[in-house]
Structure 1
């Protein structure tokens, strides 16, 4: 255990030397004194009668079965007791709906802190993005529809290069925004699991020491994805013919599959780094172990989350986009197929829509990532017991010390 109640040290994690899905059972609570509760005078073998049989001896007293995993006993014979829920999720293996509901519940329970984080980051991000689009981005390259195949390929490469150059500043801004929101919202979600309050200053104080490592992890994953895609696409581009185009498409598809597999495999590295205080490489290894055997499940949950956040973003962005077009006198050009000249009204209105969308989608994405990490550790390492003790749930052992900072 580290000094963070409820978050087991990875050095002693059962997932390091145990098969996925096989929890480590605890010793039964009544094992030591079970024998002393039975009388030494037992009837001879073969003289037991069915309960209630006429003339038969009374049945021996039934001993309550101890929960094999160390959880507190439930009353009666109706099955295990309901899972403790000190915060936004029940402390047991979670379903897809419970993970999504936990992310939304975190937004509702700590809306001041969450919106303070996301609105601040989104506003700064959009201001920088608007200024870059207005003053720094070059004019998009034009492609001649009557060009020969070789000329069309050259023009396409020029257009691709211009697009990459234009997208790079926005990518850097988005990367920094994601870095801060991930770090701060991870702390908010981890506190909400325990049912503890958290302020913006608390989240910043806990996340600040881990920001350099999180930046390194983010850059490493980005460089890994870019490198793999480049290996798949560049050889065909250098070939420079129709065969090269086909090679680039096939190589790009293969590279995308490999990149997707690795990104899902390392999708839990950020929560592991923030909450377990791991190094970058150990966080990657930790994520790989937690994802092992559950790749398709985690892929499906992240895909569903991405689809939901995309739909929410479109619901917000489309009306703001239409208003921006109208404010910039671009509806006529939109209907005729001509590209309008975007001015300040268009950039400001679309920026406001982007801020609203980010304020809703950022907490959901970050919450799902952290709750997936918690869910995998509950399934593999019985983390729910540690979390229940840290939250002070009755029947789970002595309460941990008052310092419940997950990462500090």
Structure 2
């Protein structure tokens, strides 16, 4: 009978190369336990699909992975992300457009003051309506964006395990949490107002009671401290409570505490990603809105009696376009960071993999 081939891959009877060690016999052997043995590692790429059942990998994420996941979530579910933001912005900005249009065609609302050196009642009314209504719409839009942020948190969690929520399902997922979401925004807004007001009062008393040299020295020392305090408040108390409130069914103050704990020992990393997100979103918003804002400004001067309407309409379009990108992108990044922190601190990726069917319950 022919000699069996050598285990080291050479011809029968050949001397094995230096350093060669025999490995385990091929194929299942009697008495060996089934499944991978201790120390076994999968080949590259074997677990890629298992660890990414949805729009993001289910393991702690790098900066690039966080941004990639955020864009994937928006592309994976544009109706519940971009669609909800556009709907909120369009409804809010329709108010000043309709109001200005009605007043323009009924009482002759205008921003045109070129005919005389005096400001007429119509000119004053046009200015107040144009700027005041846009300001009011911005406030209403901000309230609506709070709900959009809550919806995006649910969309993000669903996308992480490969599920796509419709716009209606995302809205229904916020049921029972909407007033708490508003309450959270009010509490954080009041806290921010108190901090700023206290610093303003401090400066008023300082200017009134202290010498110029003392004012300068205290200013040099206190301004960096105040900026550091505001940054700390933003990251530790303001940044992650919304997804915690929506996804963990917590109360207002419990969600603030939850965000505080999740950012513990992760302050600088969270701050860096948050600042970069603000820069990216702000730049994109300016690029998207600049042409329409420019047309609004120039058109208000050239359109004569229709100047107020042109200004409000151009501003409204610019606002809707910028919101369509900024709101879903910022909310998605925040929600992904929330999931990332839970995966880092609490092995939340295991729970998500079980929910996705990757691991057995």
TM-score (norm 2): 0.73
Pair 1:272 & 2:244 matched:
yes
Pair 1:93 & 2:60 matched:
yes
CA RMSD of aligned residues (A): 3.5
Unaligned runs of 5+ in 2: 1-15, 26-31, 104-131
Superposed displacement of residue 372, structure 1 = 0.1
Match of 1:294 in 2: 266
What per-residue deviation string (whole Å, max 9, x for no partner) do you get for residues 201-228 of structure 1? 1111110211111111111111111111
Pair 1:344 & 2:337 matched:
no
* Change beyond 3 A, Cα 1:79–1:173: closer
Tell me, yes or no, if the aligned pair for 2:96 and 2:133 is still in contact at 8 Å: no
What per-residue deviation string (whole Å, max 9, x for no partner) do you get for residues 119-170 of structure 1? 11011222346689999xxxxxxxxxxxxxxxxxxxxxxxxxxxxx999856
Tell me, yes or no, if the aligned pair for 1:265 and 1:287 is still in contact at 8 Å: yes
Match of 1:384 in 2: 349
Tell me, yes or no, if the aligned pair for 1:232 and 1:252 is still in contact at 8 Å: no
Superposed displacement of residue 111, structure 1 = 1.3
Match of 1:160 in 2: none
Match of 2:175 in 1: 208
* SS at 1:98 equivalent: helix
Pair 1:123 & 2:90 matched:
yes
State which of 357, 372, 391 in structure 1 corresponds to 2:322. 357
Tell me, yes or no, if the aligned pair for 1:229 and 1:256 is still in contact at 8 Å: no
Match of 1:262 in 2: 233
C-alpha distance in structure 1 between counterparts of 2:268 and 2:240, whole Å: 14
Tell me, yes or no, if the aligned pair for 2:134 and 2:312 is still in contact at 8 Å: no
What per-residue deviation string (whole Å, max 9, x for no partner) do you get for residues 304-337 of structure 1? 1110010111101211122222322369xxxxxx
Match of 1:237 in 2: 204
C-alpha distance in structure 1 between counterparts of 2:204 and 2:21, whole Å: 89
* Change beyond 3 A, Cα 1:276–1:238: same
Match of 2:184 in 1: 217
Pick the structure with greater CA Rg.
2
Superposed displacement of residue 248, structure 1 = 6.9
Q: State which drifts further: 243-252 or 354-363.
A: 243-252
Superposed displacement of residue 300, structure 1 = 0.5
Q: How many residues are aligned here? A: 301
State which of 188, 197, 219 in structure 1 corresponds to 2:164. 197
Match of 1:15 in 2: none
Tell me, yes or no, if the aligned pair for 2:93 and 2:134 is still in contact at 8 Å: no
Superposed displacement of residue 173, structure 1 = 2.4
Tell me, yes or no, if the aligned pair for 2:53 and 2:162 is still in contact at 8 Å: yes
Match of 1:373 in 2: 338
Tell me, yes or no, if the aligned pair for 1:317 and 1:357 is still in contact at 8 Å: yes
Superposed displacement of residue 262, structure 1 = 1.5
Match of 1:110 in 2: 77
Unaligned runs of 5+ in 1: 1-51, 68-72, 136-164, 332-340, 399-408
Tell me, yes or no, if the aligned pair for 1:99 and 1:368 is still in contact at 8 Å: yes
